[in-house]
Amino acid sequence: MVEDTIFSPSFGNRPSYLVGREAILRSFDQNLQTRPGSRERSTVLLGQRGSGKTVLLWELADRARKCGYVVANPTVTSEGMLDRIVEKIQKDGERYVKENHKRLAGGSVGALGFSVGLQFTKDVQETKSAEYKLTQLAERLTAEGHGILILVDELQANSADVRKLVIAYQEIVGEGLDIAMVLAGLPAAVSATLNDRVLTFLNRSNKVVLPSLALGDIDAFYSRAFASIGLKVNDVLRRKAVEATAGSPYMLQLVGHYMAVYAQDDGTAEEQQVDQAILAARHDFQTDVCETTLAALSDKDAEFLIAMSQDASESRISEVAERMSVSVDYAQKYRRRLIDAGVIRASGRGRVSFAVPYLADYLRKEESV
């Protein structure tokens, strides 16, 4: 075992180094530079479990703050989320308004309903809606020369609170105020079956589907990370570990962590230890990602996936339908739903393959017990 000061295989835990997200971060920085109201100001970030949505939101928060934005740190979709967003903006924006409060505390600020800094007067605080407060904050901060960035995690497009937020956001944009928003969630959160104002908004937003990490980037990171914690592993075995991550950020953390755990006391990891590490990582990944992904699906969706898991890599829809004893048309319905949910992907005419690593293997194991 070597001491692991690098890997953090835990949801929402910010990694010591964010691998392979430079292009996304760069375009996000550019989007923040666009004028208020442009389409690029609202982004929907979609990705499977463990693809790094939450940690990317925190990274975006840091970057936006450096550009002078007032940021509402990631708020999980929930009842009353608008109130929490208002509080977060007040807290983060305080630093920009406190010192010059006196100068601005004339008519216009009072008219917006503020008492001290970004605190509302008692009357506003107690009688006005969160939507109203959000608009007043946007007006005040825009006047101070600062934009607002709202970050939402675990997006549920059919939530009443998200609907309220989207409507408030659109109204604030309509008033020409400086605001931006990033909403992150599972691909299924934005399913085509929703037909609502939220869906229209999401469809018009800038959409980013988090891709798998490039194996080359993971390899370069492992090289550096292993050296820094004194883990000695040869190139062939390191590449084997890289392959085992299948480009998943969560798997990257798990494999790295277990490599450190299983390494010999002198820091060397031989084939046996690397295999043990991969096995342990796969086990955790299957419990945390595959199992929870399946739990969110219907029985029929699961049946479709089980039928697919009989094939080594790709499956033909016609064969999947036959195994399920249903018509091809009927199977198509499930194919569409599972593609929307990001669990499978189309791979050539009439074929599909798994989009979640190790899911096929998990299903085969489950079926054999």
- State the number of CA atoms in the 13 A half-sphere of 171 facing the CB: 13
Nearer to ligand ATP, 134 or 189 (CB): 189
d(CA 79, CA 185): 17
Q: Would strands 344-346 and 206-209 be described as parallel, antiparallel, or unpaired?
A: unpaired
Total residues contacting Mg ion by CB under 5 A comes to 1
Asked if residue 206 lies in contact with residue 40, where contact means CB atoms within 8 angstroms, the answer is yes
Binding mask 36-55 for Mg ion (x = CB under 5 A): ------------------x-
Contact stretch for ligand ATP (CB under 6 A) within 12-20, 36-44, 320-328, 337-345: 12-20
Asked if residue 113 lies in contact with residue 136, where contact means CB atoms within 8 angstroms, the answer is yes
| Site membership for ligand ATP, residue 28 (CB under 6 A) | no
| Site membership for ligand ATP, residue 257 (CB under 6 A) | no
| Site membership for ligand ATP, residue 252 (CB under 6 A) | yes
Dihedral sign, Cα of residue 152, residue 155, residue 156, residue 158: positive
d(CA 266, CA 358): 32
Binding mask 140-169 for ligand ATP (x = CB under 6 A): ------------------------------
Q: Would strands 179-185 and 148-153 be described as parallel, antiparallel, or unpaired?
A: parallel
d(CA 102, CA 116): 9
**Binding partner of residue 305 among ligand ATP, Mg ion, none, CB cut-off 5 to 8 Å per kind:** none
Q: Which residue number has the CB closest to ligand ATP?
A: 52
Contact stretch for ligand ATP (CB under 6 A) within 10-18, 105-113, 166-174, 308-316: 10-18
Nearer to ligand ATP, 116 or 296 (CB): 296
- Can you read off the two tokens belonging to residue 132? 């109203």
- State the number of CA atoms in the 13 A half-sphere of 179 facing the CB: 25
Which residues here bind Mg ion, judged by CB under 5 A? Answer: 54
Which residues here bind ligand ATP, judged by CB under 6 A? Answer: 8-13, 15, 18-21, 47, 49-55, 186, 249-250, 252-253
